[in-house]
Amino acid sequence: MPRPSVILDCDPGVDDGVALLLALRAREQLDLLGITTVAGNVPLERTTRNALALRELCGRLDVPVHAGCARPLRCEPVLAADFHGESGLGTLRLPEPRTSAAPGNAVDFIASTVLAREHQSVTVAVTGPLTNLATAFEQQPRLAARLKQVVWMGGARREGGNITASAEYNAYADPHAAERVLRAGCPFVAIGLDATHQVRSTGARVAALRELRGPYANAAAELMDFSNAIERRLSGGDGAPLHDPCVVAWLLDSALFQTSPVDLRIETNSALTRGHTAVEFRNPDGGERQVRWVTQADAGGIFDLVMLHLRP
């Protein structure tokens, strides 16, 4: 089977960091066309620096990195340094990148790449706010119809929220962008907290990762340890959710997930429930739905993929 052609849009971010390591190391399984960065967990300068540093760690200078939008479409920026550290990568220390972001804005790169390639052959995988993709849709209205699919880590239904009582961070950070992308009507997979809370970086799993004794596994374990320390402080639990790597795991093996077709809407008007994802499973009209909501995730299978691809 041909490798999926993917643009990875991200805001690294601790769990984005693990997702990037997984995507960059899966050279034989993914045709990674480029990495685009957006402001989110930390400001754009830092998300771009982190993407460049992780790219260099993995020796993947063949994959361009393009910096994108520095702020949400309409809202004031909301950072998440409390969960990701000031650098965005927790306690992981990487050398300053020797390379720079490629010329040209991420929005233009997404649009030009998708439009230049075969119809519905490119997936945009998003592990941060949807600002870059929404802006690309605004500038190129025909872009949505050209995409194979969008796979997004975002939203919550059963699990409530992780930035407010009712909102997941990526939806909250730029709800107008999320609503714009959903309105575009392209095939859309949403991997929200309902799924990612099933995938935990337990102490045993992190220990197994460290046993691989390689630079990629060690980096991922350091990132997970940072998240786990915060999880213990906030909830006393063993193992933080491994949110963003689920997006890359979907690209590598979607059979690890169960989905349902839904009508998905994002709250943009209420300050109290900003970024809330209204997930409607009922379909009284029987019409075709383009959005699939992930309901189940195989945690063991997903972590097996991490172990496989982060070996030295």
Residues marked active site are found at 243
**Strand, coil or helix: what is 74?**
coil
Instruction: Using alpha carbons, list the distances in angstroms from residue 194 to 99, 293, 297, 298.
Output: 38, 9, 9, 12
d(CA 179, CA 223): 30
User: What Rg, from alpha-carbon coordinates, does the chain have?
Assistant: 18
Q: Are residues 150 and 243 in contact, defined by beta-carbon separation less than 8 angstroms?
A: no
DSSP 52: H
Q: Which residue has the tokens 């899966």?
A: 26
* Tokens at 1, concatenated: 């089977």
d(CA 103, CA 80): 27
**Strand, coil or helix: what is 12?**
coil
Q: Are residues 186 and 290 in contact, defined by beta-carbon separation less than 8 angstroms?
A: yes
* Tokens at 27, concatenated: 């050279």
* Tokens at 34, concatenated: 């480029």
d(CA 257, CA 108): 32
Q: Which residue has the tokens 């809407």?
A: 265
Q: Are residues 111 and 143 in contact, defined by beta-carbon separation less than 8 angstroms?
A: yes
